[in-house]
Amino acid sequence: MANIELKLHGLQDKLLDRFVDKGFAESREEALRFALLKSALDLGLIDQKLLVKEIRGDLGKDKKLVHDILKDIKEIKNESIFG
C-alpha cells in the first residue's frame, strides 16, 4: 500500500465532499480511490473483469456476486456528481 499526500483546492476539493455527501463514498480517501478506478475504467486502462476481480479481492469474506458488482458499476457510470 502506498501513502501519498495531496493538496487539493477549489473544485477538486469540493468534488471530494460531494462524493461523500451524495453517498458515493464513505470518506474523502475512499472517494479518491473510487475516482482513480473509475478514471482507469473510462480511459480503457483496465476492463470491467479486472475491476470486478480487484473489488472482489478487496471485499474478502463479504464477497458480492459478480453480477451485482457489474450492476453497481453500470449504475455508477450513469450517475452524475454534479446534479
5 occurs within a structural domain: no
Write a three-state SS string for the chain. CCCCCCCCCHHHHHHHHHHHHCCCCCCHHHHHHHHHHHHHHHCCCCCHHHHHHHHHHHHHHHCCCHHHHHHHHHHHHHCCCCC
83 occurs within a structural domain: no
Would you state the pLDDT for residue 41?
Answer: 85
1 occurs within a structural domain: no
4 occurs within a structural domain: no
3 occurs within a structural domain: no
pTM, to two decimals: 0.60
Q: How many folded domains does the chain comprise?
A: 1
Low pLDDT (below 50) residues in the chain: none
Would you state the pLDDT for residue 11?
Answer: 92
20 occurs within a structural domain: yes
Would you state the pLDDT for residue 67?
Answer: 66
* Parent domain of 36: 10-78
